[in-house]
Amino acid sequence: MVSFVFFSLSGLAIVTLIATKRLEETQKRSFFIFNLISKGDIHIRAFHHLTVRLYSEGKEKLAFFLQRQIQMHSKNLWHKLMALLKEKREQYIGNIRNSRLLKKSDGISEFFKNMSSIEKGNGEIHDVLPNDSQENKKELD
């Protein structure tokens, strides 16, 4: 039903425009409806140019924001996050390099102390081999 009403109104508008145009040509004067259409066309054209300009500027700004600004801000945030995490790690864990936990009081580890005493002959051997003990007894007899 609605489509039939619109179809009828559009057909009536076309017939009215054709009749008005014919009267304008015969009477050599302009009618109100054509002045209204001309002024409306001027305003619609200005509105169209405004929307096209806003669309193109907005598209350029959006492309610049997506391609340049987001990358720059994300890198900036990444570096700030890494600096914050490093600071927090050092705050809670501390600087492990050159730490007192890794150093001994005399500067040499226990392993090397033991190695030097064994090389000097001060070390002890606790393992007794069964074959060596029998051969030593025979040689002593």
pLDDT tens per residue, range 19-66: 888 888 888 888 888 888 888 899 999 999 999 999 999 999 999 988
Say what the pLDDT of residue 102 is: 53
102 phi, psi to nearest 5 deg: -90, -20
Residues 6 or more apart whose CB falls under 8 angstroms from that of 16 comprise 33
pLDDT at 101 over 60: no
**What is d(CA 120, CA 108) in angstroms, rounded to the nearest whole number?**
17
Segment 3-24, tens digit of pLDDT: 999 999 999 999 988 988 888 8
